[in-house]
A and B are shown apart, each in its own frame.
Chain A
Amino acid sequence: MQIIQDAGRQPIQRNTVYDVINDFAEGLPEQQAPLIARANSSLLSFLTEEDGAPAKVVGGAG
């Protein structure tokens, strides 16, 4: 945490017009199951997979 704070950036959740909703200076937002199931545990690797990669729509949102 110290190293992260030393790096000097803090995530905030905002609304559309830039009012702060949540400040995550001390922690991370709760994880929730994504709409698209992740094919592996590597963080954000699903974003760089090609279309048709082993991912499926969860909850019929697609």
Chain B
Amino acid sequence: MTLHSFPHSASDALRSHGLSAPTHDILSKALAGIEISEADGEHLFRAPAQEFPAIAYVADTLRQRVNGDKVGFVVNRNINFTNICYMGCKFCGFAKRTEDPDAEWLVPEQIVARAQEAWNRGATEVCIQGGLHPKMEGTYYREIVLAIKKALPDMHIHAFSPFEVWYGAAKTKQSYHAFLQDLKDCGLGSLPGTAAEILDTDIRQQLTRNKLSTEKWVEIIKAAHEVGIPTTATIMYGHIDGPEHWAAHIALLRDIQKETGGFTELVPLSFVHSESPLYTLDPKNVRPGPTDLEVRKMHAVSRIMLHGWIDNIQVSWTKLGPEFASDLLQCGVNDLGGTLMNESISRSAGAAHGQEITAHEMCRSFRMRAVSRSSAIPFMM
């Protein structure tokens, strides 16, 4: 079975594939535009490999209905202003201590210089995140935004994870709403919905000792949406989690979106294990990232569960590489994210793909893949 040999008539597609009755019913509902439940999503995550082409077909059909033929990307630059962090999140291979020789700290002038360089190269966005430096003032976040906006008024600033918002609000003794409103007034355009990891208390207890709880993450995201700051949504999967957590996580994101409408996209982030302490300290009990099939399912099931609520499913090519990312365009994905002139977090954790890809290369690469797919390549699991 290849994805391209799957029937193209929606009504025939599911009948002809010999699906189990529950999978058939769930996918039929989705094709009919009916919202599937969290339990349905978990069922799809657990479905056997031979049923995946049907899941991908439905995800791709829904993607086509919403996004048509367009595949988007944003020309941007990642700026990690510090890698000094004392939070001790077990999955992170990025954090350094102040005395480490490769510890980094960028002052506003250096951040602005990188933003200026990005602007000169056509970037419309800078994505700025950093570790939680113990001696950093909580006002540093607004200083960064103000400095960039002063130099580059039209640059979109996509910055500061909910973990950083939690940290900055605590340091400045402000509510999340007040802290975020101030950042917005300074010029912050949007917030990365990172630090979500898996929105489950037991899992977060093991990943981060629950320093930023699920409840706090949700509270901060809702606060951002309520003051008019859109955010992305993320899920980091393939470590100590499983299908029940994935479905619950996506269902929670959907509930938030129903309430606020503030998510721009979902970005599934596969766990990069090779230099992550979570894995290296306990390799018997931690998975080395998701399987290829799980990656495909994550994007496809996300598309199906979020249909009608979050229109954009983005693949992280920095974690998966451009070839795999291109394959996922058949699994409900409509966006390739940023061209990312620098990306150090994934590379610190062992991913090989965190580099700049130019807009020309981005287009050329996936067009070449589109051509190769048009000749019915085998659908690899």
Contact = CB atoms under 8 A, between A and B. Distances in A.
Interface of A: 3-4, 6-18, 20-21, 23-24, 28-32, 34-36, 43-44, 46-51, 59, 61-62
Contact of B122 (A11, A32, A61): A32
Contacts of A17: 189-190, 230, 264
Nearest to B372: A7
B121 A8 contact: no
Contact of B71 (A9, A18, A43): A9
Interface string B344-381: 00010000110111111111111110110110000000
B71 A48 contact: no
B312 interface: yes
A13 B72 CA distance: 6
Contact of B371 (A7, A14, A44): A7
A21 B190 CA distance: 18
Interface residues of B, number: 50
B371 A47 contact: no
A50 B358 CA distance: 19
Contacts of B312: 18
A9 B322 contact: no
B12 interface: no
Contact of B74 (A3, A16, A35, A48): A16
Nearest to B68: A10
A47 B317 CA distance: 10
B370 A7 contact: yes
B360 A30 contact: yes
A31 B358 contact: yes
A15 B125 contact: yes
B70 interface: yes
A18 B371 CA distance: 26
Given A3-B374, A13-B74, A31-B358, A47 B264 contact: no
A21 B186 CA distance: 25
Nearest to B126: A16
Interface string B101-125: 0000000000000100100011011
A50 B341 contact: no
Contacts of B357: 44, 47
Contacts of B71: 9-12
Contacts of A48: 321, 352-353
Contact of B370 (A4, A30, A47): A4
Interface in B11-67: none
A16 B158 contact: yes
Given A16-B190, A47-B321, A28 B75 contact: no
Given A4-B367, A18-B264, A18-B311, 12 more contacts: A8-B69, A11-B363, A13-B75, A16-B156, A20-B72, A28-B360, A28-B364, A30-B360, A32-B360, A34-B356, A44-B361, A47-B357
A18 B66 CA distance: 13
A44 B322 contact: yes
A24 B255 CA distance: 35
A46 B73 CA distance: 20
Contacts of B98: none
A8 to B, nearest CB: 5
Given A7-B370, A15-B125, A30-B360, A47 B73 contact: no
B147 to A, nearest CB: 18
Given A14-B72, A14-B74, A47-B355, A28 B363 contact: yes
Contacts of B365: 43-44
B352 A49 contact: yes
Given A18-B312, A51-B347, A62-B342, A10 B69 contact: yes
Contacts of A16: 74, 76, 124-125, 156, 158, 189-190, 264
Contacts of B352: 47-51
A30 B156 CA distance: 22
A36 B341 CA distance: 9
24 contacts: A3-B374, A4-B367, A7-B367, A8-B69, A9-B71, A10-B70, A10-B71, A11-B72, A11-B363, A11-B366, A13-B359, A16-B125, A20-B72, A24-B363, A28-B360, A29-B359, A31-B361, A36-B355, A43-B368, A44-B357, A48-B321, A49-B352, A51-B352, A61-B117
